[in-house]
C-alpha cells in the first residue's frame, strides 16, 4: 500500500469531526427532503470566533493559547453549549460539537440553539493559577459574544464548576453587576442547580432504561462497560449500578480495568479520586480500549471523545445496546456496521442530553429567581429526556431508520422548521 492510500484510509477511519457532522446532516436532509436553501444554512455555523490568549505562566514566561467559540445556530433560542480544554481541540472539532449541541437542544425541545467553545491546552499540566488566568482571559476575549440571552457556556471535557465560577466573576466584573446566569454548571453556592453535576450520566441511564425496554433486556444483572470514566461515564456507572447492573470494565486516558465478576462503581470512583486513574483497581485486570469496546457485555457506554468506535472496532462490538455519553464517539461509517449488526444505539444527541437539559433547568431557576430541590430537578429531567426518547423512537419506527438517523431527523427537522418560519433577513 502506498503512503497516500494509508493516509486516506486512516483519515477515513478517524474522520474530521465536522465532516462527520456534515455527513449526518446530509443523511437527515435526505430523509426530511429538506429544501436546498435550508440545508445550506444548516451546513454553516452562524458565527465562529477565534481568540489569542496571552497568559502568564507560573515560570514567569508568557504563553499564547488559542481559543474558539462557535455559535452554530440561534434559530430556536440563545445558543448553548460547553467549553472544552484539551490539547486536541481544533476549530473543526468545536464546529462539529456546536452543530451537535444544536440538534441536541432541539431533540430535548428546550429553547436553545447550539454552541461550543474550546481552548487548545493541556489542563493536566497546568496549575490552578494558570487555569484561572487562562479562563479569565478567554472569558474577556469572548465577553461581547456571550450572555444569558445570547450564548450560555457550560462545562465540557476537562472544565468544571470552578471554571464556570471564574467565568461568572470575570464576566460580571466587566459588566459591573453579578450575572450568574451567563453560564450553567456553576457551583451551587453561585446559583448552580442541584443535580447538574450528575445530570449527563443520569440522563444517559434513563435512556438506557428505555432502550432496555425496547430490547426486552432486564437491567438487573445486565453487564456494562464504560469507556471514559470522567464526569459523565463515572456518574452513568454509579446510576446504572442502582438498577442492579454489573460494571465489567472501565477506562480513562491512563488505561482500563476489567473484572468479569463486576466492580463496585462507587469504589472505582474513590480509587480514581485517590490515584488519578482507574488503573490498578484491586481485583481487576488491565484491558485495552479496543478490548473494552469489544467486550461481551449487554451495554456499552462510550463516554470519552470523538471517533472511538471506528468501522474496524464496530465489527467486533458485542453489546446489545450502546448508550453514547460522549459526543461523536461513533463515526458515520461505523454507524452502518453497528446498525446492520442489529445493535440498538442511543445516539449522543439524545443519550447525553441530560447535561444540557439540567443546564436549561438551571437557567430557568436563575432567571426566575427560584430554587428547586434535587428531586424536582431529577424528575423534570426524567420527564424531558423520556419524552425526547419517545419522539426519536417513534420517528425511527415510523420511517424504519436507526435511532441515529431518527434523532437527526427530529433534531434537524425542528431547527429547519424554525428557520423556515423566521424567514431570511432582509
Ligand atoms: N457539554 C455538555 C454537552 O456536550 C453540556 C452542555 C451544556 O450544558 O450547555 O452536552
Q: Where are the domains of the chain?
A: 45-190, 199-351
Pair type for strands 285-287 and 255-263: antiparallel
What pLDDT, on a 0 to 100 scale, did the predictor assign at position 64? 98
**Cα–Cα distance between 415 and 425 in angstroms, integer?**
17
Q: How far apart are CA 96 and CA 116, in angstroms?
A: 9
User: Which residue blocks in 152-257 are alpha helix, DSSP H?
Assistant: 161-175, 199-214, 231-241
| pLDDT tens for the 426 residues of the chain, in order | 333 333 444 456 789 999 999 999 999 999 999 999 999 999 999 999 999 999 999 999 999 999 999 999 999 999 999 999 999 999 999 999 999 999 999 999 999 999 999 999 999 999 999 999 999 999 999 999 999 999 999 999 999 999 999 999 999 999 999 999 999 999 999 999 999 999 999 999 999 999 999 999 999 999 999 999 999 999 999 999 999 999 999 999 999 999 999 999 999 999 999 999 999 999 999 999 999 999 999 999 999 999 999 999 999 999 999 999 999 999 999 999 999 999 999 999 999 999 999 999 999 999 999 999 999 999 999 999 999 999 999 999 999 999 999 999 999 999 999 999 999 999
Atom of ligand 1 nearest to the CA of 83: 1
Q: What is the pLDDT of residue 124?
A: 96
3-state secondary structure of 256: strand
Instruction: Report the C-alpha gap between 357 and 376 in whole angstroms.
Output: 13
Distance of alpha carbon 87 from its chain centroid, rounded?
17
Question: Could you tell me the maximum CA-CA distance found in the chain, to the nearest angstrom?
Answer: 66
Residues noted as catalytic:
116
Residue 146 phi, psi dihedral angles, 5° rounding: -105, 175
**According to the model, what pLDDT value does residue 10 have?**
47
Mutate-to-test residue for ligand 1 from 72, 97, 105, 156, highest number of ligand atoms within 8 A of CB:
156
Question: Are the folds of 45-190 and 199-351 the same?
Answer: yes
pLDDT of residue 1: 33
Question: pTM of the entire structure?
Answer: 0.96
Of 3.30.565.10, 1.10.287.3510, 3.40.50.720, 3.40.1350.10, the CATH number of 199-351 is 3.40.50.720
Ligand 1 atom having least distance to the Cα of 356: 8
Distance from residue 353's CA to the centre of ligand 1 (Å):
7
Residues with CB under 6 Å of ligand 1 are 80-82, 154, 156, 184-185, 327, 352, 355-356, 359
> What pLDDT shows up at residue 13?
75
pLDDT of residue 177: 98
Contact yes or no for 258/249 (Cβ under 8 A):
yes
> What is the spatial distance between Cα 24 and Cα 101, in angstroms, rounded to a whole number?
13
Provide CB contacts within 8 A for 177, sequence distance 6+. Answer: none
Domain 45-190 has CATH 3.40.50.300: no
Whether the Cβ atoms of residue 53 and residue 64 lie closer than 8 Å to each other: yes
Amino acid at each position: 500500500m502506498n503512503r497516500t492510500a494509508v493516509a486516506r484510509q486512516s483519515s477515513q477511519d478517524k474522520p474530521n469531526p465536522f465532516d462527520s457532522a456534515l455527513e449526518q446532516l446530509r443523511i437527515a436532509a435526505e430523509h426530511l427532503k429538506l429544501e436546498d436553501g435550508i440545508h445550506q444554512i444548516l451546513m454553516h455555523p452562524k458565527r465562529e470566533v477565534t481568540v489569542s490568549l496571552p497568559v502568564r505562566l507560573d515560570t514567569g514566561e508568557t504563553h499564547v493559547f488559542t481559543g474558539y467559540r462557535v455559535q452554530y445556530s440561534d434559530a430556536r433560542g440563545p445558543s448553548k453549549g460547553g467549553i472544552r480544554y484539551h490539547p486536541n481541540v481544533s476549530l473543526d472539532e468545536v464546529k462539529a460539537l456546536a452543530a451537535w449541541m444544536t440538534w441536541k437542544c432541539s431533540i430535548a425541545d428546550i429553547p436553545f440553539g447550539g454552541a461550543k467553545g474550546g481552548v487548545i491546552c493541556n489542563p493536566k499540566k497546568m496549575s490552578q493559577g494558570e487555569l484561572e488566568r487562562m479562563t479569565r482571559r478567554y472569558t474577556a476575549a469572548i465577553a461581547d459574544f456571550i450572555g444569558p440571552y445570547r450564548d450560555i457556556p457550560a462545562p465540557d471535557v476537562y472544565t468544571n464548576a470552578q471554571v464556570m465560577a471564574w467565568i461568572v466573576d470575570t464576566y460580571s466584573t466587566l459588566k459591573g453587576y453579578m450575572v450568574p446566569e451567563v453560564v450553567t454548571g456553576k457551583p451551587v453556592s453561585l446559583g448552580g442547580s442541584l443535580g447538574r453535576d450528575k445530570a449527563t450520566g443520569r440522563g444517559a441511564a434513563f435512556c438506557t432504561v428505555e432502550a432496555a425496554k425496547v430490547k426486552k433486556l432486564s437491567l438487573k444483572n445486565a453487564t456494562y462497560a464504560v469507556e471514559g470514566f470522567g464526569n459523565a461515564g463515572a456518574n452513568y456507572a454509579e446510576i446504572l449500578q442502582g438498577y442492579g447492573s454489573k460494571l465489567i470494565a472501565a477506562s480513562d486516558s491512563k488505561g482500563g480495568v476489567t473484572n468479569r465478576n463486576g466492580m463496585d462503581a462507587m469504589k472505582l470512583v474513590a480509587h480514581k479520586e485517590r490515584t488519578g486513574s482507574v488503573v490498578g483497581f484491586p481485583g481487576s485486570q488491565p484491558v485495552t480500549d479496543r478490548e473494552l469496546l469489544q467486550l461481551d457485555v449487554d451495554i456499552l457506554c462510550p463516554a470519552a471523545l470523538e471517533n472511538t468506535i471506528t468501522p474496524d472496532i464496530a465489527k467486533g462490538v458485542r453489546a446489545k445496546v450502546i448508550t453514547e455519553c460522549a459526543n461523536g464517539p461513533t463515526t458515520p461509517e461505523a454507524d452502518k456496521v453497528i446498525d446492520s449488526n442489529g445493535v440498538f444505539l442511543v445516539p449522543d444527541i439524545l443519550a447525553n442530553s441530560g447535561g444540557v437539559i439540567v443546564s436549561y433547568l438551571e437557567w430557568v431557576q436563575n432567571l426566575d429567581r427560584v430554587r428547586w430541590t434535587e428531586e424536582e430537578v431529577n424528575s423534570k429531567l426524567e420527564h424531558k429526556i423520556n419524552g425526547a426518547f419517545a419522539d426519536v423512537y417513534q420517528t425511527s419506527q415510523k420511517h424504519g431508520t436507526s435511532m441515529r438517523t431518527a434523532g437527526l431527523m427530529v433534531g434537524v427537522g425542528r431547527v429547519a422548521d424554525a428557520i423556515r418560519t423566521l424567514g431570511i433577513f432582509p
